[in-house]
Structure 1
Amino acid sequence: MSETICSVETVGDAIVQILQLRGVNCLFGGAPTSMIEALANPDNVNENSIRGIVTPHEQTSVAMAHGYYAATGRPQAVYLYSTVGTANGLNGIINASRAHIPMIVIAARSPIAEQRGIAGARDIHVQWSQESFDQASMLREYVKWDYEIRQPDQVVSVMERAFEVATAEPCGPVYISVPRDVLAAPLQSIAVDTPSRRITKTRVIADPEMLDAAADLLASAKHPIIITSEAGRTEGGRNALAELSETGGFGVLEASPVYSNLAPEHPCHLGYIFASQVSPDLEKADVILVVDSDVPWFTARVNIPKSTRVIQLGIDPFYQQLPMRGFPCDVPLIGHTEYSLNELTSRLKTRINNETRKERISSHQMRRNHQSNQLKDAIAKDEKLTAITPLWANHCISQLISSESIIVNEYPADLRILQPQGSNSYFGPSHAGGLGWGLAAALGIKVAKPDSEIICTLGDGAYYYCAPTSCHEVAAAENLPLLIIVFNNGGWNEVKKSVISTHPGGHAARANSVPLTSFGYRADFEKIVTAFGGYGAKVEKADELQSVLHEAMRVVREEKRQALVNIITQV
């Protein structure tokens, strides 16, 4: 056991030093006063120095930290300004919470002191009106832990506790508020355990008795199926899912996937169900294995027989954060996905008949070939149209994808066509659905993986919500070239479908246009990016789309600039 003794000047300086010692590479958003002073100190500049990335809007900073962790598994730090900055960042924190993304969120707080002679005392008009009785109350439901530093000698303990709670499973964001005068309080040195003595890394494997029960159910099933949303969070989890599906010939459905959970060409891949889509496979299944999926199906739309047995697997398969979740669980497998799936696979190898496995895989492949041919026919049909359909747009985008590509999607990507190949090749939005995540998350991934080629697909609503000028400024200032593709259908298509689904045959369904679902004006989004030195293009005709996309990709690859293509699509 050893300690690192750090010479510091203030509490803010101490926070910077601790972040660096705990492996934080980036501080997204900016920093409060005394942390800026510490970052400006030449004595603090070394190979482990934090990269401070200024974001003009707090939504950008939180989503960038989200993207960085998703791509690397390393939590980063975010700065939010007081109550108002916390409010701006709350949407992103909700997304991170539901996606189990750890991050250290540090927020300024109005100074406690008002009197002369105390560094950092109140001296700005807003510091009275921005103070709240309980600053963290607005986000307490969405962070795992919150605390306010009130004394200089607390700083090490508070920061260590923050990392401990954020990274303990299930992971999530934590929130620390610091009054400006406390941040500026003098401090001479801190002692920090190196390495940390707050180790949270562990290997949780499901109960052996429950694993045996699950294996027996799957082995005896006539129509078993696996549903997952996040098994591909780690490469190990993705590989374990592939091996399990091959061992039993189990078909795999990806339900609103957040990651690439199974190779698209895998013989057991049954496809994707997004948003409110349903799959007929679910009603036929007699055993369902749910792997890391908060909402595996919609009870209101799918009739799962009561005789169907359900196995739920994950570090928290019951999703205890959610106020309501009514899915049955006959066999709980509580543990890390990779290790628990591997244990389940080892049990099934002696229980599954090889002929049964081969027959299932052959059946899956025949169906996949049929569906693939249908999809190709539909794309070929749309190619001949004048207007651009989502199918044709996705096909054109698929022609850009290379082995270095990472797709970051906020709603319009059709994974049947784009087919992300490897682990960490696809990142989708949190199931919380806080719009505005995609572009900033793509920037965070680009920071984490600068050699990767980022293709960010957004709906027009998602682009509106992402504080686009903030994102484009960061891309320009930090030299983060990426391709942004906006599917501009001029409105809230999902809202329209929801209204008609809720009231089939109703007034809205019979109307020429559904009220409050059209933006009324299709913006020239491509002009916004040019204000930040980027390339912008708008395309409305199907036969022009491929050439426009290839030119935009050339700008990203060769000129190292951000590019945005505004695709005017059919609704």
Structure 2
Amino acid sequence: MNNDNTTTATPPTAARRLLEEASRLGVDCIFTNLGSDHPAFIEAFADIDAEDGRMPRIIVCPHEMTALSAAHGYAMRTRRPQMVLVHVDVGTQNLGCSIHNAARGRVPAIIVAGLSPVSVSGERVGSRTEFIHYTQDSTRQHEIGGQYMKWSYELRAAEMVDQVLMRGIQIATTAPEGPVYLTGAREVWDEPAAAPEQAQRHWQPARMAGLPEQDAQELVAALAAARKPLVITSYLGRDRESVRRLEALSDRLGFAVCEVNPQYVNFPGQHPHHIGYRRNTLVDEADVILMLDVDVPWIVSKVKPAANARLFHLDCDPLKDDMGFWHFPAERTWQADSAVALEQLLVLARATAIDDDARAARVEWIGAARQRLTLPDVPAPANGGIGLQQLCEAIGRLVNENTVVVFETPSATERLLPTLRLNRPGSYYANGGSGLGWSINAALGVKFAQPEAEVITVVGDGSYVFGVPSSTYWVGETYGAPQLTLIFNNGGWNAPKVSTLLVHPEGTAKRRDRYWTTVGARARLAEVATAAGNAAAFRVEQLAQLDATLQEALATVRGGRSAVVDIVLPPTSAQVLGEHAA
């Protein structure tokens, strides 16, 4: 009691302060797998819940792959970072390739992990009480995923929790965006955190600018004077306004746009200037190439730009300095905000006199290219089975204005995307990294962020297994986030086979059909989701039943229950693994 007989309120713990501050700063969800380092958080959850206070929605995830991948999907939809709370070193390790995906996908995320307590004699709240506090006390926990983090920091004083969190969010949301990693010992999270509230306006992300005026004029002039101008992009569509501005600029100047491994809808798929989704397309024909928010515009061993082509690169991350060796030539390289830069270019283009005949010739070149780049039809298998083309066309019949496609079946990219040709920004998301297992979990985040969306996840059988579906569908059922999952089941992992044939096109592996990848040949994949999360399981092998099965599955999802359709395609290999082998 004070001398004036007033009661001094007990300051909140650092854990509670973190939760309340996260909510104030716009974090909607905490995706978590809790452990022995989290008593302060669990107590804070309970206290805030009992008092009907404010904190982010708590989404418990049986596996950390689900946690960070769902936060990834949520951030793609909203551009706002979500929080992932994991258990010391082992929980951090369980994040696995989802850390790589968040970094390569340039999505903001706040990863918080505990540290083993240091005090051993019970002198502090949170001191060591279990044997694992010794075995989990690693010396360099932050290094587990350090190379993929924009910033890693240990909270050392409870009263600094607000400022550490705000700096983390500021760094995570400054382009190029990415994950940050915050840690704190168990005792620190349980300490009182009395500190004045920070002014949010003082912790805003640093903003990128556009192009120098002279450079913008040079770029517009180059595009306007080109005979065969080409723009290549992958992740421009993270900002939907950029998509509209690129479309308007292409309408004005008449240049081709190619999306390579798109992570978003970057350009309307049905626009007459869209030349498809195949990497290396027209690279050797173009006389001006603008690389625009893209990591790998072409494969150097397969194609090279013409010797006299003018090359430009405009990107939020033009040097890729978190990658190893990387280089694509460009006479001008700009680190800039694509939305700002495109608005500059559009204003200049509208003020520039355009040679109608030259523009018409460019458009004619684009039209001719579209014709010759059209994929030939592939008939369905003779046995009445389902071919890749027929499956992609059937998916196209499911898509409507409320559909969001979450995609992770790399070997189907060149057939599915040209079939769907999605136009609406925000209707498509794909992984910016190469850590498989992302899609079924990212779909949860998309659904949490946009509950009214009909989320259709297109996933290969290998990616589905990597995604830990026993965790995914438990979360979807528990928290009301149904998705329609379509498994492209070719009996194994096709990507290693493709990679092998690219290096050894006539090797022994091809001659003997031996790739050691047919891990899904006998699995009942959809039933995993049924056991874990009450999802409706379907399996379809015949083309005659495909449309009806997909429609029934979609109706199930519209009724509030996830559905997984295991779609049997021609096998990637006839090899039989294990004791069943001949």
TM-score band, normalised by shorter chain? over 0.9
Partner of 1:161: 167
1:303 CA displacement: 2.7
Q: How does 1:282-321 map to 2 (within 5 A)?
A: 282-321=283-322
Give, in whole Å, the separation in 2 of the partners of 1:369 and 1:258. 25
Partner of 1:86: 92
CA contact (8 A) 1:215 1:344 kept: yes
| 2:233 pairs with 1:231 | no
Partner of 1:35: 41
1:382 CA displacement: 2.4
Q: How does 1:107-506 map to 2 (within 5 A)?
A: 107-187=113-193, 189-200=194-205, 202-273=207-278, 277-279=279-281, 281-349=282-350, 350-365=352-367, 367-368=369-370, 378=377, 381-382=379-380, 386-411=384-409, 412=412, 414-430=416-432, 432-506=433-507
Give, in whole Å, the separation in 2 of the partners of 1:47 and 1:421. 41
Amino acid at match of 1:321: D
CA 1:389 to 1:473, structure 2 compared with 1: closer, same or farther past 3 Å? same
Give, in whole Å, the separation in 2 of the partners of 1:266 and 1:522. 42
CA 1:47 to 1:119, structure 2 compared with 1: closer, same or farther past 3 Å? closer
CA 1:565 to 1:43, structure 2 compared with 1: closer, same or farther past 3 Å? closer
CA displacement, residues 99-144 of structure 1 (integer Å, 9 cap, x when unaligned):
1111111001101111123211111111111111111011111001
CA 1:364 to 1:44, structure 2 compared with 1: closer, same or farther past 3 Å? farther
CA 1:392 to 1:43, structure 2 compared with 1: closer, same or farther past 3 Å? closer
CA displacement, residues 39-97 of structure 1 (integer Å, 9 cap, x when unaligned):
21147755743100000000110001100010011111001111010011131111111
Query: Bigger CA drift: 139-148 or 204-213?
Result: 204-213
CA 1:555 to 1:239, structure 2 compared with 1: closer, same or farther past 3 Å? same
Give, in whole Å, the separation in 2 of the partners of 1:425 and 1:73. 15
Partner of 1:3: none
- The DSSP-based 3-state class of the residue aligned with 2:196 is strand
Give, in whole Å, the separation in 2 of the partners of 1:126 and 1:390. 50
Partner of 1:61: 67
TM-score for the superposition, normalised by structure 1? 0.93
Q: How does 1:10-29 map to 2 (within 5 A)?
A: 10-29=13-32
CA 1:248 to 1:564, structure 2 compared with 1: closer, same or farther past 3 Å? same
Give, in whole Å, the separation in 1 of the partners of 2:333 and 2:353. 20
- The DSSP-based 3-state class of the residue aligned with 1:190 is coil
CA contact (8 A) 1:213 1:331 kept: no
CA contact (8 A) 2:159 2:192 kept: no
1:356 CA displacement: 2.2
Query: Bigger CA drift: 135-144 or 515-524?
Result: 515-524
Amino acid at match of 2:355: N
Give, in whole Å, the separation in 2 of the partners of 1:384 and 1:365. 34
Give, in whole Å, the separation in 2 of the partners of 1:263 and 1:46. 45
1:492 CA displacement: 1.7
- The DSSP-based 3-state class of the residue aligned with 1:269 is coil
Give, in whole Å, the separation in 1 of the partners of 2:372 and 2:455. 31
Give, in whole Å, the separation in 2 of the partners of 1:437 and 1:313. 28
Query: Bigger CA drift: 406-415 or 55-64?
Result: 406-415
Give, in whole Å, the separation in 1 of the partners of 2:383 and 2:241. 43
- The DSSP-based 3-state class of the residue aligned with 2:482 is coil
Amino acid at match of 1:325: W
CA contact (8 A) 2:228 2:365 kept: no
- The DSSP-based 3-state class of the residue aligned with 1:400 is coil
Give, in whole Å, the separation in 1 of the partners of 2:195 and 2:501. 61
CA displacement, residues 195-254 of structure 1 (integer Å, 9 cap, x when unaligned):
341112535111222222222322222211110001111111111111121111101110
Amino acid at match of 2:516: L
Q: What is the number of equivalent residue pairs in this alignment?
A: 555
Q: Point out where structure 1 has 5 or more consecutive residues left out of the alignment.
A: 1-5
1:470 CA displacement: 0.3
CA 1:197 to 1:105, structure 2 compared with 1: closer, same or farther past 3 Å? same
1:529 CA displacement: 1.8
- The DSSP-based 3-state class of the residue aligned with 1:35 is helix
1:519 CA displacement: 1.7
Amino acid at match of 1:160: M
CA 1:59 to 1:22, structure 2 compared with 1: closer, same or farther past 3 Å? same
Give, in whole Å, the separation in 1 of the partners of 2:493 and 2:26. 41
Amino acid at match of 2:561: R
| 2:106 pairs with 1:105 | no
Give, in whole Å, the separation in 2 of the partners of 1:426 and 1:16. 31
1:384 CA displacement: 6.9
1:169 CA displacement: 1.7
Partner of 2:579: none
CA 1:17 to 1:360, structure 2 compared with 1: closer, same or farther past 3 Å? same
Give, in whole Å, the separation in 2 of the partners of 1:181 and 1:166. 26
- The DSSP-based 3-state class of the residue aligned with 1:272 is coil
CA contact (8 A) 1:26 1:51 kept: yes
Amino acid at match of 2:481: L
Amino acid at match of 2:144: M
Give, in whole Å, the separation in 1 of the partners of 2:320 and 2:469. 32
Amino acid at match of 1:427: Y
Partner of 2:548: 547
Partner of 2:12: 9
Partner of 2:4: none
| 2:509 pairs with 1:508 | yes
1:549 CA displacement: 0.5
Give, in whole Å, the separation in 1 of the partners of 2:49 and 2:536. 40
CA contact (8 A) 2:117 2:187 kept: yes
Partner of 2:77: 71
Instruction: Give identity over the alignment, percent.
Output: 31
Runs of 4+ in 1 over 6 A off after TM superposition: none
- The DSSP-based 3-state class of the residue aligned with 1:469 is helix
CA 1:426 to 1:520, structure 2 compared with 1: closer, same or farther past 3 Å? closer
- The DSSP-based 3-state class of the residue aligned with 1:128 is helix
- The DSSP-based 3-state class of the residue aligned with 2:277 is strand
CA contact (8 A) 2:175 2:208 kept: no
Give, in whole Å, the separation in 2 of the partners of 1:424 and 1:494. 27
CA contact (8 A) 2:491 2:520 kept: yes
CA displacement, residues 293-345 of structure 1 (integer Å, 9 cap, x when unaligned):
01000001113233222100112222222121120011123211111122123
CA contact (8 A) 1:7 1:190 kept: no
| 2:530 pairs with 1:527 | no
CA contact (8 A) 1:385 1:542 kept: no
Partner of 2:565: 565
CA 1:236 to 1:47, structure 2 compared with 1: closer, same or farther past 3 Å? farther
CA contact (8 A) 1:409 1:428 kept: yes
- The DSSP-based 3-state class of the residue aligned with 1:193 is coil
- The DSSP-based 3-state class of the residue aligned with 2:248 is helix
CA 1:466 to 1:43, structure 2 compared with 1: closer, same or farther past 3 Å? closer
Give, in whole Å, the separation in 1 of the partners of 2:224 and 2:386. 46
CA 1:16 to 1:229, structure 2 compared with 1: closer, same or farther past 3 Å? same
Q: 1:51 aligns with which of 43, 50, 57?
A: 57
